[in-house]
Amino acid sequence: MRNVLLTAFKMYKSCLNRPKTRWAGVVILAGLFLFSCKTSKKVTVTKDMKTRLDNLLATVPDFSGVLLVADQGKIVYHKAWGYRSFETKESMDTASVFELASVSKQFTALTIMQMKEAGKLSFDDPIDKYLPGLPYTGVTIRHLLTHTSGLPDYQEIMDKYWNKTKVAGNTDNIAYLIQYHPPRLFEPGEKYAYSNTGYMLLASITEKVSGQDFITFCRTRFFGPAQMTQTDIRTVAEKKQLPNLAAGHIYVKEKQQYVPADSFPQFNYAIWLGNRKGPGRVSSTSADLLKWDRILYSGKIVKPETLLEAFSPTRLNDDSLSWYGFGWKIRQSKKGKVVWHNGDNPGYATQFERYIDADKTIILLSNNAHPKIPDILQSVEAIVEE
């Protein structure tokens, strides 16, 4: 900005030395003045935003996590609160790694979208073309992507029958769906009902079609190209080895304190379903998610027209619309279209919002799943949308 102002001022002085261009010099000076005023106003607004966000988070003293707000890819707010570990009182910082939970679903959807662009599948292919044996006919890949499949919850079946001293993966989940074949919830395309089963099956379809392990696929196609050096799909043991892990915590009312979420392994599906792929398991930082936000605008991951389909509502059988695309929820704001997703794992609550018309970004990651997070987000959105 300083260089721009210096250049404009030199042009103004040059014009003054030549009578025929003196009026041009006046115009340049006026433009310079207006540019300077506009720039100063923008800085003032940014400072006001920082103050308001600071004050907002100060009203929730036991919140633990990180908030990042960006405008056109430039960070305008990035701060951390609380602890990586409530036991050791190790302070949280903005480089901390969080479990993203269902924010991971966008990566799963994009594996399918890349396979579609490569001509290896169609969104309207029946899933039994790739996963034979499942006792559910009429379900397509599109139904899985948009949560309109009507498939039962695989986690309920695993919770009921699986030996929780073992760690289950997708092959086990699919085998139990076939063995116990719980009834479908509704006919495919009839309505929207959030389905982790669908995204678990999508990851398995990606492996079948690509011939590549799902985790390796995500590393080579997404995390590597976006230079997301802190992002991966990790096992429970691998996450514990991270020096900057923000461990998930749950508030225990009887003890009046936060305790590690993994203190209750029999209730923590992230442990006994620890090898599942598709519905969750990506762990990342706020800075890495901003890198991901930026590369999605570039067309390097999938074509803009493919991404547009992911950001569009789904038409149901009765011709009504469901406001979920391919791995993204959709809403309209004062600043235009917003695509977003939240995540919820034991001890974690996450939110990733992309104002794709206004090019603004909100990333909120918490490792104590604070009950006031919905209120915090609503206030952050109101500040960003002004």
Query: Which among 64, 85, 96, 102 is annotated as catalytic?
Result: 102
| Contact criterion met (CB below 8 Å) for 143 and 124 | no
Return the SS3 of 51. helix
Mean of pLDDT values over 231-237: 93
Burial class from Cβ neighbours inside 10 Å (0-12, 13-18, 19+) for residue 2 reads exposed
User: In this structure, what token pair is assigned to residue 137?
Assistant: 């006919």
- Closest alpha carbon to 206 in 137, 127, 270: 127
Question: Distance (Å, rounded) from C-alpha 153 to C-alpha 136?
Answer: 13
Q: Among this protein's residues, is 102 annotated catalytic?
A: yes
Q: Does domain 46-385 have CATH number 3.40.710.10?
A: yes
Mean of pLDDT values over 39-61: 76
pLDDT at 340 over 50: yes
State the pLDDT confidence band at 267, using cuts at 50, 70 and 90: low
- 């990035």: which residue's tokens? 78
State the pLDDT confidence band at 360, using cuts at 50, 70 and 90: very high
User: In this structure, what token pair is assigned to residue 297?
Assistant: 């605008």
26-35, 168-177, 274-283, 371-380: segment of lowest average pLDDT: 26-35
Burial class from Cβ neighbours inside 10 Å (0-12, 13-18, 19+) for residue 177 reads buried
pLDDT at 185 over 90: yes
pLDDT at 91 over 90: yes
Q: What is the mean pLDDT of the chain?
A: 89
Q: Is 160 left (phi over 0), alpha (psi -120 to 50) or beta?
A: alpha
Considering the entire predicted model, what is its pTM?
0.86
Question: Distance (Å, rounded) from C-alpha 166 to C-alpha 18?
Answer: 85
Share of residues in the chain with pLDDT > 70 (%): 87
CA atoms within 13 A on the CB side of 119: 0
* Residue 72 confidence (pLDDT): 96
Domain positions in the chain: 46-385
Question: Distance (Å, rounded) from C-alpha 33 to C-alpha 39?
Answer: 10
